[in-house]
Chain A
Amino acid sequence: MNGNQTITSAGAKRKPLLSGRKAEMLRSPTFWGGIGWKIFRFVLLLGLTYMILLPFFSKIASAFMSQSDLYDSMVKFIPRNPTLENILFVFDYVNYPEGFLNSLWFSTACALLGVLSACLTGYGLAAFKFRGRGILFALVVLTMVIPPQTIQISSFIKFKYFDILGIIQLLTGSPLALNNSPLPMILLALTGFGIKNGLYIFIMRQFFTTLPAELSEAAEVDGASTARTFFQIILPTARPLGMTIFLLAFSWQWLDIYYAATFYPQFNFLATSVGKIANSMTDSFGQLYDHSAKQSMIINTNLLLIILPLMVLYLVAQKQFIQGVERSGIVG
């Protein structure tokens, strides 16, 4: 932000030095619409870029810091005594390889199912006229609008005592306990009720409404079944947007601690390991170390290890991600 001020003040100072036509050019509105604006814009974007990347720098820095660096006032970003101690500690403490694999398969499964159900529901709502379609779409919006916290506890109970119309109770004598298993999240993603799935359905529906009806009609005239039309004609057109949603769904599932804590608290996800490490550190060192720099250092290291795979994924897929965003029918 200071950068902007220096730029403008430098421009103002230079003014009297310039004579005649140049000064006129500076005063003309096209200058500020031109070079002045360009410089301001660039500095602003650079400043914001710094702001967005700062958490990553700070995490990387603290991951390699030794304890003596913490209390060294000269050390800000570059540790004086770099060490792998923190990383090795966290890697070991949270059993990183196991957590990584767990998070990987679980996030992939949930994201894939979420995208699939969003495509199916979105296409159903967009391409077919049937009575009740408006109500169904309103229900999708409703699931987006109601805070997930409202149904957190009743969802927890629902899956702890899982039953459909009392059938399971009849067969086995007691309802199924599905909590502490991956099933709740998988089932929710499959039916479009996982993390932010309402949003995915909404976006997909908006996209499919922009597709011309001729596309599916032509396929039908050629004798393709509805299923074939959907999988071979419609879905490929939605690929860029589907990729974007997959990336979002994967990342949000990867970082989720809320649903994990509700349905699967004992499972070793990467994201939930932070809570465990934070709690156990306060337990073992007492209140003294709560919110201390050491604890913060360890948590930062853990967060870095969690987001590192996501960063790699984002860097690999960002081109497609941005394309999907730009071509999406979010606009309606």
Chain B
Amino acid sequence: MIAQKSHKGLSYRKKKELKGWIFVSLFLLGFLVYYLPVLIDAVRYSFSDLDVTGKQLLVTFVGGEHYHYAFMVHPDFLKTLVTSIGQLGGEIGAILIFSLFLATVLNQKMPGRAFFRMIFFIPVVMATGVVEKYEVSNILMEQMENTAEMGSTAASGALFDAEAFLATMGIIDPNIVEMLSSLSEGIYGIVQKSGVQLIIFLAGLQSISPSIYEVAKIEGASGWEIFWKITFPMLMPMIFVNTMYTIIDSFTRSSNAVVELITEIGFQNSNLEASTAMSLVYSLVVLAVLGIVAGVFTMINRRQGVER
């Protein structure tokens, strides 16, 4: 009551507005004091030389030198950028299709559903950070996947590497062998990266009212028709969110080739400025990709709207 008196001058609407600002104030503070300055600094540093050894930071403006280095001098940056975008395109599609399929399966009633859900959410919790980083170079696991990789280095000569064996015998085109083995590795990676998407699709599937399906069944629609005419359109918002999330996640995870290169240049080669320039270029690429994808989705939505 006392609090209300002190605000007497403000209208109800104004008060509500003020309360809204109070709730978001922590975020706003962080944005104004930390995020925005840091973002501006990133642009500034990419055009400068830095000295971070002393008590005071020294910044000298040098123009577009670091961008020149990134594109013209550095041997791998441009190549890595282009190849990784191509690779990610395929991977992102695979993750989306896989997680949608798995979500529809896990949404069905069956024995052991709770158990399977528990298992499939494990990667959400586990497959990041240090685990993800060191899993990539995990020799022992490879060894367990395809027997006897170690044979070539160890004493026992009787063992052989199946992949190399098939290739040298000329039974199968080495390209196909390589493709098959990368595919099996790929499936593993896709399962590990589909956790959050699976959650979002599952939540979406559960929000579709069962009565819609009942009506469709009574009208005689097949499972195939039901999926494409009901489930798929109803999931469109989730597909959009998931596509965006998958793009962001794939482009920014620390095992991404470009990210690894940028981190390496920044912290191992201590070329902070070039690293910043490269990561700015990279962010612009990511933003452009997201923009294009968002544009495509709005176009599809609009076209669907016209059809209806």
Q: Name A residues whose Cβ lies closer than 8 Å to a Cβ of B.
A: 33, 38, 41-42, 44-45, 48-49, 51-55, 57-58, 61-62, 70-71, 73, 76-77, 117, 120-121, 123-125, 127-131, 133, 136, 139-140, 143-155, 157-158, 160-161, 164, 174-175, 177, 187-188, 190-193, 201, 223, 225-226, 230, 247-248, 251-252, 254-258, 261, 271-272, 274-275, 278, 291-293, 296-297, 299-300, 303, 306-307, 310, 314, 318, 321-322, 325-326, 328, 330-332
Contact = CB atoms under 8 A, between A and B. Distances in A.
Q: Would you list the 9 A-B pairs with minimal beta carbon distance, nearest first?
A: A191-B30, A124-B23, A128-B20, A255-B129, A154-B41, A124-B24, A130-B17, A147-B252, A130-B20
Given A123-B23, A330-B203, A247 B125 contact: yes
B169 interface: no
Interface string B11-24: 00000111111111
Contacts of B114: 322
B20 to A, nearest CB: 3
B203 A307 contact: no
- Contact-residue bracket for chain B: 35 or more
B121 interface: yes
B30 A188 contact: yes
Nearest to A118: B27
Given A76-B147, A129-B17, A332 B237 contact: yes
B140 A331 contact: no
Contacts of B287: 145-146
Contacts of A325: 121, 199, 202-203
A332 B125 CA distance: 23
A193 B275 CA distance: 22
Interface stretch (B74-82, B88-96, B131-139, B295-303): B131-139
Contacts of B254: 257-258
18 contacts: A48-B120, A48-B191, A49-B120, A52-B123, A54-B188, A55-B131, A76-B147, A121-B23, A121-B24, A133-B20, A136-B27, A147-B251, A147-B252, A153-B45, A158-B34, A255-B131, A293-B139, A330-B200
Given A41-B110, A191-B33, A307-B126, 11 more contacts: A41-B108, A48-B191, A54-B144, A58-B144, A129-B16, A149-B263, A155-B34, A160-B52, A256-B129, A299-B138, A325-B203
B231 interface: no
A117 B16 contact: no
Contacts of A225: 3
B148 interface: yes
B139 A130 contact: no
Given A73-B148, A121-B23, A151 B38 contact: yes
Contact of B57 (A127, A145, A157): A157
A139 B287 CA distance: 14
A122 to B, nearest CB: 9
A153 B105 contact: no
A274 B283 contact: no
A133 B20 CA distance: 9
A331 B204 contact: yes
B292 interface: no
Contacts of A188: 30, 34
Contacts of B120: 48-49, 52
A150 B24 contact: no
A245 to B, nearest CB: 12
A255 to B, nearest CB: 3
Contact of A157 (B45, B106, B263): B45
B19 A136 contact: no
A55 B141 contact: yes
Contact of A153 (B131, B202, B272): B272
A297 B140 CA distance: 7
A105 B125 CA distance: 18
Contacts of A251: 125-126, 128
A323 to B, nearest CB: 11
B207 interface: yes
Interface string B129-173: 111011101111101110110110111101100000000000000
B125 A314 contact: yes
